Structure 1
């Protein structure tokens, strides 16, 4: 169950406006994740991730790696 939550959180952070270059704190990451899930829902976050991978296959993987690591730290 925890892995599933991490997946949802990662997708939500991925589709958020938060950028790695902003060097966001764990608190900002948690806020961004919760805001995106509240606003879009889990399914829409997943849909937007798929869309980004289709439209930007060159940069989507690195954003996903950042989102995953950021979520693991912020929600540890």
Structure 2
């Protein structure tokens, strides 16, 4: 992985577990402009870029608001979309890198 992989904006939310970081990244991907479908796996570089862009453009609270709005508006498709986001995060970020991002975000 390149050093730009970890260049994520600092976040005010508590990322005290690996699962919290994984969820935070998936929420950012969910709120991004990237289109995911359950049958395809997006390019890991595109996933990381979409997450970085979304986190730079929106505060973490706005990302969560956008995710909640999508779940409210599209309750039948949002869970599958979130699963696709989680799978894409798992493919784009190594477990070691996710562990490094916990406890307050990347530096």
Give the TM-score of the pair, scaled to structure 2: 0.66
Match of 2:70 among 44, 48, 52: 52
1:4 aligns to what? 20
2:29 aligns to what SS in structure 1?
helix
Q: How many angstroms apart in 2 are the aligned matches of 1:29 and 1:54?
A: 24
TM alignment of 1:15-34, pairs within 5 A = 15-21=31-37, 23-34=41-52
Gaps in structure 2 of 5+ consecutive residues: 1-16, 95-107
1:20 aligns to what SS in structure 2?
coil
**Higher helix proportion (structure 1 or 2):** 1
* CA deviation string 1:2-53 (max 9, x = no partner): 2211111000000111112575210000000011011102111111101100
Root-mean-square deviation (CA), in Å? Answer: 1.4
Gaps in structure 1 of 5+ consecutive residues: none
Match of 1:40 among 55, 58, 73: 58
Give the TM-score of the pair, scaled to structure 1: 0.91
